[in-house]
Amino acid sequence: MHDKLNRMKEQYESTPIPDELSSVVNKAIAARRTKNRTLPWLAGVAAACALLFAGVNASPAFAKAMSDVPVLGEIVKVMTIREYAEQDGSTEVHIETPGIANLGNPELEQTLNNKYLEENKKLYEDFKDEVAQLNHEGGGHLGLDSGYEVITDNEQLLTLSRYVVESAGGSAESRQYDTIDKINHLVITLPSLFKDDSYIQVISDNIKEQMRRQMQDNPEITYWVEQPGVESDIPEDLFQSIAKDHNFYIDKNGKLVISFNEYDVAPGYMGVVEFTIPTEAIADQLVSNEYIR
């Protein structure tokens, strides 16, 4: 069993990842930089785990899986190109890595797929390191679930959402999005949608307004946002502004959606929270209405 695990581990770690990935990204998607936030493991848990993986592209069933993948925009295909799955006592891991095919731009396609492979390889390595540390400390539950889903699929846009759920007693979820212009073969960044940086304050103010309105309408909803007449014990934790390259996507109706990971702006029971920004609120800041309507 150990020999088999070692052989699988060696095959996984031998997967080539281009050394110049960042430069390819710069040329292909106009210097897009995505902040990859990995939430820390919750304290007081430990487990030893041998992490198996299966490369779907090396599997005998891969040919059949390829024939079953969904076709997007009658051209682009999204599929699982690598999958890891293992359950061993108090530890459990499941990671699915997406791949994009028939995008019409081989360089962009390879850049995105290599990015997904590289990031999930790091996710695997971080999990392995955490397991070793927790095993040294002695006992507990540890889980990791990562996958993807297609959020938007129309003639022009493909939005791919990738999620990571870490669990150790409680759980924490984070998400990343890539919104791809399938016609012009580029990844859309948040700054590219606007004339200048004024969108940051406009969107932030709109989100604060939505937060306050939701809390007023539903007492079970809580956001960490300043409220008139209410003092916060930790004012530095209150939501102030989105980042220039904040996590976002464009939904099927052509609306801009701003996403926050679990615990970013609200207690954990709120989960991942999203705010659809009314187009009229940002109309003056938009470069055009090609994507946002």
Q: What SS3 string covers 102-169?
A: CCCCHHHHHHHHHHHHHHHHHHHHHHHHHHHHHHHHCCCCEEEEEEEEEEEECCCEEEEEEEEEEEEC
* Cα 262 off chain centre by: 12
pLDDT tens-place string over residues 81-140: 999 988 887 889 999 999 999 999 999 999 999 999 999 999 999 988 888 888 888 777
For residue 147, give the amino acid letter. Answer: G
For residue 7, give the amino acid letter. Answer: R
Is residue 277 within 8 A of residue 292, CB to CB? The reply is no
Give span(s): CATH 3.30.565.40, the chain. Answer: 2-187
At 32 the pLDDT is 36
Is residue 155 within 8 A of residue 138, CB to CB? The reply is no
Answer whether CATH 3.40.50.800 is correct for domain 2-187: no
Q: Please, which residues have CB within 8 angstroms of residue 275's CB and are 6 or more apart in sequence?
A: 206, 207, 210, 211, 257, 258
Rounded average pLDDT per 10-residue block, the chain, 293 residues: 39 42 38 35 30 35 43 72 88 95 94 98 90 80 95 95 92 96 96 98 98 97 89 82 98 97 96 98 97 96
User: Minimal CA–CA distance to 95: which of 49, 56, 140, 135?
Assistant: 56
CA angle, 83 then 109 then 84, to 5°: 5
CATH topology of domain 193-282: Actin; Chain A, domain 4 (3.90.640)
Give span(s): CATH 3.90.640.20, the chain. Answer: 193-282
